[in-house]
Amino acid sequence: MSTLILLLATGLGLGGLYFLVASGLSLIYGLMGVLNFAHGSFLTLGAFVGLAAGNLVGAGTWGGLLLGLVVGALTGAAAATATELGLIRPLYDRHIEQVLVTVGLSLATVALFEGIWGPNPRNVTRTEWLASTTDVLGAHVPNTAFLNVLAAAAVLGGIVAFLRYTRYGLIIRAGVENRAMVTALGIDVRRAFTLVFAVGGAAAGLGGVLATQSLNYVSPHMGASLLIFAFIVTVIGGMGSLTGAAVASVVVAVLQQLANFYLNNTGDLIVVLLLALVLLVRPSGLMGRPA
C-alpha cells in the first residue's frame, strides 16, 4: 500500500513538472499553430540562470530557491519573447519553417549551454526540507513532489484566471478557436502571440528550476528530456487544451511511475503506447477539439 502511495505521489510530482512545460506548448500550439521544439531550451536556460541567481542569495536556502524560481520564470519568459519576436514572427503561417527554426534553436542552445556550463550534470544544493521526505500513510514521499504539485496548481490557477478574467485572456481563448476572425474584429493578435510565448516560457523556466530540485542536478540536456514527455502530454491532452494538458500530465506521469515499478522499467514504453492508442482512438486528444 505504501509503495502505491509513493508511486502515486511521485507520479503527481512528475506530472506537475510535465504540466509546467506542456501548458506553454499547448497554449502556443492552440493559438498559433506553432510546434515549439525550442521550449525545452527555455526550461534549461531558466534552470541555469535561476539557480545562479539563487546561489547569490544562498544555495540550499528558501530565499535562494524563491529568487531562483522568480528569476527562472523571468528568464524563460524573456527567452521565449525574444524567440517569438526574432524567429517566429517573421515566419507566421509558414509552419514547416517554424518547426525547422525551433528544432535548430533547440540544438544550438544545447551546444551553447554545454559551452557555457559544461556538458555534464551539476549537483544542486537543496534546502534541508526539499532534500528529505514526508511520511504519508507509511510512504516516504519526497518533498519535491509536494512543491511540484503546488507550483503546477498555482500555475494552472494563474493561467486559468488570466484566460478567464483579462481581455488578453479573452483574445487568446477566441484566437485558439478562430485566429482569423479575431483579426477581423480589429484585434492585433500578434501581441497575444508574444504574450502566450512569454507565459509559456515563464512556466517552462519555473519548471526548470523545480526540475533541478527533483532531479538534484542541472544539465544542458534536461530541457530536451522533459520536452519529449511534455509533447506527449500535450498531444494526449489535446493540442490547445490547458485542462487536457493538466489531466494528461497526471495520467502520463502516474502511469509511467507505476509501469516502471510494476512492469520492469517499461514506463516510457507504456507512455508511448498510450500516445499511440489515443491517436488511434481519439486523434484530437482527451480534451482537444476535433479537427
Residues at the interface with other proteins (CB under 8 A): 167, 170-171, 173-174, 177-178, 180-189
The C-alpha atoms of residue 90 and residue 261 are separated, in whole angstroms, by 47
Q: Closest approach of Cβ 173 to other proteins, in Å?
A: 6
Q: Which long-range contacts (CB under 8 A, 24 or more apart) does 174-179 make?
A: 175/31, 176/30, 176/31, 176/240, 179/31, 179/32
Q: Closest approach of Cβ 179 to other proteins, in Å?
A: 11
110 CB-near residues (< 8 Å, 6+ apart): 41, 44, 220, 221, 223, 224
Residues 26, 199 contacting (CB under 8 angstroms) = no
Q: Which is nearer to other proteins, 133 or 243 (CB)?
A: 243
Q: Which is nearer to other proteins, 187 or 224 (CB)?
A: 187
Residue type, 20: L
For 16, 127, 217, 250, 268, the CA distances from 11, given in Å and listed in that order, are: 9, 22, 19, 7, 13
Q: Which is nearer to other proteins, 135 or 186 (CB)?
A: 186
DSSP 89: G
Q: Closest approach of Cβ 76 to other proteins, in Å?
A: 28
Q: Which is nearer to other proteins, 107 or 174 (CB)?
A: 174
The C-alpha atoms of residue 57 and residue 64 are separated, in whole angstroms, by 5
Q: Closest approach of Cβ 160 to other proteins, in Å?
A: 14
Q: Closest approach of Cβ 166 to other proteins, in Å?
A: 11
Q: Which is nearer to other proteins, 132 or 166 (CB)?
A: 166
Q: Which is nearer to other proteins, 95 or 122 (CB)?
A: 95
**Torsion angle of C-alpha atoms 155, 140, 125, 49, degrees rounded to 10:** -20
Q: Closest approach of Cβ 250 to other proteins, in Å?
A: 23
Minimal CA–CA distance to 26: which of 252, 277, 230, 254?
230
